[in-house]
A and B are shown apart, each in its own frame.
Chain A
Amino acid sequence: MTPTRLYLSNDTSARAAGADRLARAWEGTADLELVRTSSRGAFFLEPLVERDTPEGRVGWPTAAPADLRRILAGEGGVPVSQIPFLAQQTRVTFANFGQTQPLSAEEYVAHGGGEGLDRARALSPEAIIEELKVSGLRGRGGAAFPVWNKWQVARKTQADRKYVVANADEGDAGTYCDRMIMEGEPFRLLEGMLICALAIGADAGYIYCRQEYPAAVQALQAAIEEAEEDGMFDLKGGHFHLEVSVGAGSYVCGEETALLESLEGRRGVVRAKPPYPAVSGLYGRPTIVSNVLTFATVPSILARGGKWYATMGTERSRGTVVLQIGGRVKQPGLVEVPFGMTLQEVLDRFGSGPAPGARFKAVQVGGPLGSLFPASRLGIRICYDAFAEAGAILGHGGIVVYDDETDMVELARHFMAFAADESCGKCTPCRVGSVRGREILERIQAGHGGPGDLELLADLGETMKAASLCALGGRAPYPVLTAIEHFGNEFRR
């Protein structure tokens, strides 16, 4: 009898939700083939068990070991294509997630993987860069700089060697799309880096991955080994040498120049720019440092054309945005949609409102340096310009919802303490300001806040914004000041 094939994710979050417990419980069951795949990113449904049917995949959400009988009998499953959380998305970079085995090169290719690199191999470096220019792709790590422009600068800079570096530090809490890519479809990251190497003329690269992602590191190393054997790293006239370098717990090493310092083995202290890494980066050579998601977006653009990619999104934010919803929502998970939806729409359609028993208080977008939005400000459009105008950032697409049991003073203290802990120490306004800011908030927390404290925080904030070398010091005041702006009464104890 042909065994029944069931699909179950081995993504870290799927496993944290109980996927391995299912695998262990069902191990040794006769006529059962359990295939571990990437996750669809609908984590509120994990552990999600799927099987093939003539009409497509059918799934059993939040499955328990005892559900095996009815799953094998085909009872009570839901067609995956009808799950609203997934059906309403425009999956481009995450199109294959939930379907393929992460380390299977065959499955990657069968699902269109490698087409972008194949096309790039036949193009001139200028033509590759032109495709990116037409696409309008802006960096997805937070800075949102036009990708084509960076590659152009690196291409034009003369040097004995050049580097491609993937920023896999993904330090913003609330974000996990890079982790999913590295664990779930590592070949896509490699493909994007190789396309970049062809465009700029690099023959070596690194993936700087946070040590907090051990599964991602393992998957990357296995994928690189496989790709080596398959000849993926044989580029025009040369061989691309790629290594994974593991970080050591420093948030600021997600900033590109601090990352380069760390990659060179030193303290992860921010460098002044100029020179920009594209001109003088790793070991002083032209280096493209881009985020994992940015590289992972490149293959589709080469395969399907920049023009196609630019049909999605808004005028100055082209393509799809990858959001990661977390915190006190009913449906936490990964959402890929065109730029332009409002924050309210995203929270309603995908997050599906607050978690059971919770009441919405505020949402933070863009990680620990992101601004807080109360219920009255959710009409903002998710695109780079709208956020910049509002003094906010999209960052890495993290969206965290806080409920009304959250103490805003404690939250503000947490944000400032974070900045103080993670500051590289180079700039006095950040190094000292974050500590003083934390102290003021601790005083307020202890009931010893005095008149002028909030004005002092605002003034301190202005100095940090104006005089910090990087976005850590520059953005640290925003979560605190937006907390005070929207929940001022909690601070006037």
Chain B
Amino acid sequence: MNEKSSLNLNLDLSLILQRCRPRDPKPADVLQTLLAVQDGLGHVPPEAIPEIARALEVTEADVAGVLTYYPDLRTRPTGRHLVRVCTGESCVANHCDRVLTALRKKLGINLNETTPDGRFTLERVYCVGNCAVSPTVIVDEQVHGRVTESDIASLLKDCR
């Protein structure tokens, strides 16, 4: 990372952390702080752990412990478009594995990987409550239901 973008990162992080400092009677909330950092920066860079710990007046272990515990907290950026396949039981019963295989083939990547051009990241998600209209694929924020292998191309076509 070059010096200029590193400086921008620090400025953004400081601004976010200012809002999250513990304020009596509300104690430090490590989880909500990390979610706020991720919201602002797209992910939580591990190098930010010491500064977050200082701002919240907790240990680095506290911060790292929460960061590594929750699946939604990510330490690496994602591609421009997040494609998530639901692997909850109703989607499994409706053979979402076939949809997942088709997506892996189409994108040329495995789960938790990003395409070389930075366009797509492929992940699993466990249940978004669309069980009665499964299988489910979420592209960015859009929930698609009754997805079959032949739907894959049209799901992704508008994502640049």
Whether, in the assembled complex, A221 has its beta carbon less than 8 Å from a beta carbon of chain B, the answer is no
Given A13-B133, A17-B133: A248 touches B73 (CB 8 Å cut-off): yes
Residues of chain B within 8 A of A295, CB atoms compared: none
Q: Are B131 and A265 in contact (CB under 8 A)?
A: no
Q: Are A326 and B129 in contact (CB under 8 A)?
A: no
In this complex, which of B94, B131, B145 has the most chain A Cβ atoms within 10 angstroms of its Cβ? B131
Residues of chain A within 8 A of B136, CB atoms compared: 16
Query: How many angstroms from the CA of A250 to the CA of B87 in the assembled complex?
Result: 14
> Which of B11-19, B27-35, B104-112, B114-122 is the interface stretch?
B27-35
Q: Residue on B with the closest CB to A246?
A: B35
- Binary contact readout A438-458 vs B (1 if CB under 8 angstroms, 0 otherwise): 000000000000000000000
Query: How many angstroms from the CA of A403 to the CA of B92 in the assembled complex?
Result: 11
In this complex, which of B27, B87, B93, B134 has the most chain A Cβ atoms within 10 angstroms of its Cβ? B93
Minimum CB–CB distance for A13 against chain B, Å:
5
Q: Are B89 and A327 in contact (CB under 8 A)?
A: yes
Minimum CB–CB distance for A334 against chain B, Å:
8
Q: Residue on B with the closest CB to A399?
A: B90
Q: Residue on A with the closest CB to B32?
A: A265
Query: How many angstroms from the CA of A43 to the CA of B132 in the assembled complex?
Result: 6
Whether, in the assembled complex, B148 has its beta carbon less than 8 Å from a beta carbon of chain A, the answer is no
Residues of chain A within 8 A of B143, CB atoms compared: 12, 15-16
Given A17-B145, A268-B69: A179 touches B129 (CB 8 Å cut-off): yes
Minimum CB–CB distance for A251 against chain B, Å:
7
Query: How many angstroms from the CA of A242 to the CA of B128 in the assembled complex?
Result: 24
Query: How many angstroms from the CA of A469 to the CA of B73 in the assembled complex?
Result: 26
Interface residues of B in 18-72 (CB under 8 A from A): 27-33, 35, 62, 65-66, 69-72
Interface residues of B in 63-106 (CB under 8 A from A): 65-66, 69-73, 86-95
In this complex, which of A178, A249, A324 has the most chain B Cβ atoms within 10 angstroms of its Cβ? A249
Q: Residue on A with the closest CB to B22?
A: A265
Query: How many angstroms from the CA of A406 to the CA of B95 in the assembled complex?
Result: 8
Q: Residue on B with the closest CB to A213?
A: B129
Given A176-B132, A249-B72, A326-B131: A212 touches B93 (CB 8 Å cut-off): no
Q: Are A251 and B126 in contact (CB under 8 A)?
A: yes
Q: Are A332 and B88 in contact (CB under 8 A)?
A: no
Residues of chain B within 8 A of A332, CB atoms compared: 90, 131-134
Residues of chain B within 8 A of A268, CB atoms compared: 69-70
Whether, in the assembled complex, B159 has its beta carbon less than 8 Å from a beta carbon of chain A, the answer is no
Q: Are A325 and B28 in contact (CB under 8 A)?
A: no
Q: Residue on A with the closest CB to B30?
A: A265
Whether, in the assembled complex, A115 has its beta carbon less than 8 Å from a beta carbon of chain B, the answer is no
Q: Are B32 and A173 in contact (CB under 8 A)?
A: no
Residues of chain A within 8 A of B27, CB atoms compared: 264-265
For chain B, give the interface size range. 35 or more
Residues of chain A within 8 A of B132, CB atoms compared: 13, 41, 43-44, 176, 324-326, 332-334
Given A246-B35, A262-B31: A12 touches B128 (CB 8 Å cut-off): yes
Residues of chain B within 8 A of A418, CB atoms compared: 126
Q: Are B126 and A326 in contact (CB under 8 A)?
A: no
Whether, in the assembled complex, A401 has its beta carbon less than 8 Å from a beta carbon of chain B, the answer is yes
Whether, in the assembled complex, A10 has its beta carbon less than 8 Å from a beta carbon of chain B, the answer is no
- Binary contact readout A247-284 vs B (1 if CB under 8 angstroms, 0 otherwise): 11111000000000010111110000000000000000
Q: Residue on A with the closest CB to B97?
A: A410
Whether, in the assembled complex, A170 has its beta carbon less than 8 Å from a beta carbon of chain B, the answer is yes
Q: Are B31 and A401 in contact (CB under 8 A)?
A: no
Residues of chain A within 8 A of B62, CB atoms compared: 266
Residues of chain B within 8 A of A402, CB atoms compared: 93
Query: How many angstroms from the CA of A431 to the CA of B4 in the assembled complex?
Result: 44
Query: How many angstroms from the CA of A213 to the CA of B28 in the assembled complex?
Result: 25
Query: How many angstroms from the CA of A469 to the CA of B144 in the assembled complex?
Result: 37
Query: How many angstroms from the CA of A15 to the CA of B141 in the assembled complex?
Result: 12
Minimum CB–CB distance for A296 against chain B, Å:
15
Query: How many angstroms from the CA of A134 to the CA of B135 in the assembled complex?
Result: 42
- Binary contact readout A330-364 vs B (1 if CB under 8 angstroms, 0 otherwise): 00111000000000000000000000000000001
Query: How many angstroms from the CA of A452 to the CA of B13 in the assembled complex?
Result: 55
Q: Are A16 and B29 in contact (CB under 8 A)?
A: no
Minimum CB–CB distance for B12 against chain A, Å:
21
Whether, in the assembled complex, A113 has its beta carbon less than 8 Å from a beta carbon of chain B, the answer is no
Residues of chain A within 8 A of B88, CB atoms compared: 173-174
In the complex, given contacts A12-B130, A16-B133, A16-B143, what are 12 additional A-B residue pairs having Cβ atoms less than 8 angstroms apart?
A: A13-B132, A172-B127, A173-B86, A176-B129, A247-B72, A265-B30, A268-B69, A325-B132, A327-B89, A332-B131, A332-B134, A406-B93
Residues of chain A at the chain B interface (Cβ within 8 Å): 12-13, 15-17, 41, 43-44, 46, 170-176, 178-179, 211-214, 216, 245-251, 262, 264-268, 324-328, 332-334, 364, 367-368, 398, 400-403, 405-406, 411, 414, 418
11 contacts between A and B (CB under 8 A): A16-B144, A16-B146, A43-B133, A174-B90, A216-B129, A247-B72, A264-B27, A266-B66, A325-B132, A398-B90, A405-B95
